[in-house]
Amino acid sequence: MSKILVISAHQDLAQSVSNRLILEELEKHFGSKASVRRLSDLYLDFNINVAAEQAALVEADIVLLQYPTFWFNTPAVLKKWLDDVWTYGFAYGTGGDKLHGKKLFVSTTTGSPAQTYDGKTEPLIEDLVKPVEVSALYAGFEWNGVDALYGQLYIPGVHSEADLDRVQQNARAHAAKLITKIEKLL
């Protein structure tokens, strides 16, 4: 049985509508086949348990990095996780073959609509994810692309209940898309 590892890297998941719903839908659908590691809950102090994270990666066949794109970048906790966990002797270099052949892809949410990421005003989302892609390929992962969910900004007291409903519906639809993608990779 293939194991699915979801690395959630939202800096404050309690405040997120989309990322939280996506994780809930994935957990509901995959049950024990999926392990979700919520970095913002596990590492408030950014002190990553490298051994635990590497063990989770070794067990996985499919890895999904789920995070919001903030300021055209990954959240700081994800960058710290990558730096601390994908180390020499584990992810690359002598003996660093522990991630070879595993499948990895990114799911990211944005507050801005898709047309913002047009490659002119702002970079394409594929360009923003390029450092993660290159790192994954260097570590021996099979890269399976990026799936973006755009326009998911919801601020209580600023946006309406209709906006909240739209964001929730979009998050559930995105989760269904991710589920289909993961099932094809299994």
Q: What is the pLDDT of residues 128-145, one digit of tens each?
A: 999 999 999 999 999 999
Q: pTM for this one? A: 0.96
| pLDDT over threshold 70, residue 81 | yes
Rounded mean pLDDT, 81-99:
98
Sheet holding 62-68, edge to edge: 34-38, 4-8, 62-68, 103-109, 142-149
Q: What is the pLDDT of residues 133-182, one digit of tens each?
A: 999 999 999 999 999 999 999 999 999 999 999 999 999 999 999 999 99
Tell me the average pLDDT of the chain: 96
Q: How far is CA 94 from the centre of its chain?
A: 28
Give the pLDDT confidence score for residue 2 in this predicted structure. Answer: 75
Confidence class of residue 121 from pLDDT cuts 50, 70 and 90? confident
Give the pLDDT confidence score for residue 22 in this predicted structure. Answer: 98
Give the pLDDT confidence score for residue 60 in this predicted structure. Answer: 98
The strand pairing partners of 159, in sequence order, are 156
Angstrom distances, CA of residue 2 to CA of 53, 57, 145, 170? 18, 12, 19, 27
Q: For residue 147, what is the DSSP state?
A: E
Residues 6+ apart with CB under 8 A from 106: 64, 65, 66, 67, 129, 132, 133, 145, 146, 147
Rounded Cα gap, residues 104 and 5, in angstroms: 9
Angstrom distances, CA of residue 23 to CA of 33, 88, 157, 160? 14, 30, 24, 23
Give the pLDDT confidence score for residue 1 in this predicted structure. Answer: 57
Q: What is the pLDDT of residues 2-55, one digit of tens each?
A: 799 999 999 888 899 999 999 999 999 999 999 999 999 999 999 999 999 999
Beta-strand runs (E) in the chain? 4-8, 34-38, 62-68, 103-109, 142-149
| pLDDT over threshold 90, residue 110 | yes
